[in-house]
Amino acid sequence: MSAVGAQRRLSPAAITALKGERPIVSLTAYTTPIARLLDPHCDLLLVGDSLGMVLYGLDSTVCVTMEMMIAHGQAVMRGAKKSCVIVDLPFGSYQESREQAFRNAARILKETGCDGVKLEGGEEMAETVVFLTSRGIPVFGHVGLMPQQVNTTGGYRSLGRSDKEAAKIRRDARAITEAGAFAIVIEGTVEPLAREITETIAIPTIGIGASPACDGQVLVSDDMLGLFNDFKPRFVKHFAELAPIVSKAAEEYAREVKERRFPGPEHTFQVKK
């Protein structure tokens, strides 16, 4: 398809413009087939570092590498035709300095062709966000519960219940907005606070464990599809229950193989007479 006839994906600027227009639909994607299935229904596909836990069985996102993010970013880009695609900067790839953040963000954009990067942090990352956005790199912010900081914040829990926590999250959201981010994830934050932030900042808020009043919502696609039955956070809704379907299919496959009922003649290549 020529460049003229090719469908254009939503840009970060187009995502920003949706604030106040309609809710923004976002899901995570890590592979080409899943990206193809989700793309027609989403405004934004996030190649999240949650892939470390979802695909690799890691205990947290801290061990995720640049190479992992780039490989999965490339895979999602092969399947995305319409959605804005954002790739997470993994832990340790941007916190050291503005320059480090730029080098790694630029590498991700160059090697995947994605539309922007996401990083976690508030006031302490505002200067870095300014540095990146002023040099042509769209930034998706992330405040509230920040999984990359789970080792220093006491685990996964909802935030903003105390006046001190709430004030910090407000400052963080304001700082990242003023630094030039095009949108911001609010994660694991009590509902009234997430609602208040949504009403007071100029860029879209994308909630996960936050508020229905956020400008959009995001879920880990494997959670949304019900592929995990052993862990279901309060903020997750299973829109399908695929885990038992996959298990049942594997059971039936194993039985037919053991009974030599699969493959049948229709599944093999015969010599024509």
Residues near 136 by Cβ (< 8 Å), separated by ≥ 6?
none
Six-digit token string for 217: 């919502």
Q: Would the annotation count 118 as a binding residue?
A: yes
Catalytic annotation, residues: 187
The phi and psi torsions of 127 (rounded to 5 degrees) equal -60, -40
**pTM for the predicted model, two decimal places:** 0.93
* Per-residue pLDDT tens over the stretch 166-212: 999 999 999 999 999 999 999 999 999 999 999 999 999 999 999 99
* Per-residue pLDDT tens over the stretch 15-63: 999 999 999 999 999 999 999 999 999 999 999 999 999 999 999 999 9
Please state, rounded to an integer, the average pLDDT across all residues of the chain.
94
Q: How is the chain split into domains, by residue range?
A: 12-241
Helix or strand holding residue 167 (H, E)? helix 163-179
- Three-class SS state of 116: strand
- Answer for the pair 56, 91: CB distance below 8 angstroms, yes or no: no
pLDDT at 1: 40
* Per-residue pLDDT tens over the stretch 71-118: 999 999 999 999 999 999 999 999 999 999 999 999 999 999 999 999
Using the predicted structure, report yes or no on whether residue 68 has a pLDDT greater than 70. Answer: yes
Q: Would the annotation count 168 as a binding residue?
A: no
* Per-residue pLDDT tens over the stretch 230-240: 767 788 899 99
Tell which CATH architecture fits domain 12-241: Alpha-Beta Barrel (3.20)
Q: Would the annotation count 19 as a binding residue?
A: no
